[in-house]
Amino acid sequence: MSHSPSASKGSVTREHILDRAYEMARRDGIEGLSLGSLAQGVGMSKSGVFAHFGSREDLQLAVLDVGRRRFSAQVFAPAMDKPRGLERLRFIVAAWFDWVRAAEGGCVLLTAVSEFDGRPGVLHEAVVSQQLEWRATLCKSIALAVDTGELRPDVDPGQFAFETYALVLGVHHDSGLFGYAQSASHAERAFNRLVDIYRSP
């Protein structure tokens, strides 16, 4: 594919606007985004920002997708270099805890769940589809550790994934109140016990 200079300049500008929008959404949620304050934040006119996104909803969807791509790049993609099985699963969970630590002050993806889980619409669909995708990926990583023989065949990946997700939510919830170190230590202990329970003899 070849890009004309103006198309690629437009795409750089779009990424710059999205970076700023993502930072704003970390603080105020995706529902807190407005084209007006975003335009002010990037020093452009409102119509200039509008030219890159057809509507506020398109902007919100794009910000959600930035979150998905960053999460995937930081938590999932590096794990693909690890051998499938328990090592990869442990790597994913550790990288996920790191994501929570870095997201201190606001995780766009988790905030989006509280914002849109009860509000039917395009954003609700996008959030549900994103969460389903991540849960399926997590289930698959668990199932691979069964395939390698490291976890017992009677593991229920959906149950295991729910419990792992719950621990991450516990870290997210507690770390802002009582500090990351204590919360992550509780969660690691619980995750290690979960693995030990289902580890093949």
Q: How far is the CB of 194 from a copy of itself (least distance, A)?
A: 9
Vertex 167: Cα angle to 162 and 169 (nearest 5): 95
- Residue number, 127 or 146, with CB nearest to a copy of itself: 127
Give the chain's length. Answer: 201
**Tokens 């051998």 sit on residue:** 83
**Tokens 């949620």 sit on residue:** 29
Q: What is the dihedral of CA 162, 166, 167, 172, to 10 degrees?
A: 140
CA distance 94 to 52: 36
| Contact window for a copy of itself (CB under 8 A) among 16-24, 82-90, 144-152, 181-189 | 181-189
Show contacts with a copy of itself in window 66-125 (CB under 8 A): 104-106, 110-111, 113-114, 117-118
Residue 139 structure tokens: 């289930």
Q: How far is the CB of 26 from a copy of itself (least distance, A)?
A: 10
| Contact window for a copy of itself (CB under 8 A) among 4-12, 42-50, 74-82, 168-176 | 168-176
Long-range CB pairs of 45-54 (<8 Å, 24+ gap) are: 49/17, 52/10, 52/13, 52/14, 52/17, 53/17
Query: Does residue 180 bind a copy of itself (CB under 8 A)?
Result: no
- Residue number, 53 or 115, with CB nearest to a copy of itself: 115
For binding to a copy of itself (CB under 8 A), which residues are involved? 104-106, 110-111, 113-114, 117-118, 127-128, 131-132, 158-159, 162-163, 165-167, 169-170, 173-174, 176-177, 183, 186-187, 189-190, 193, 197
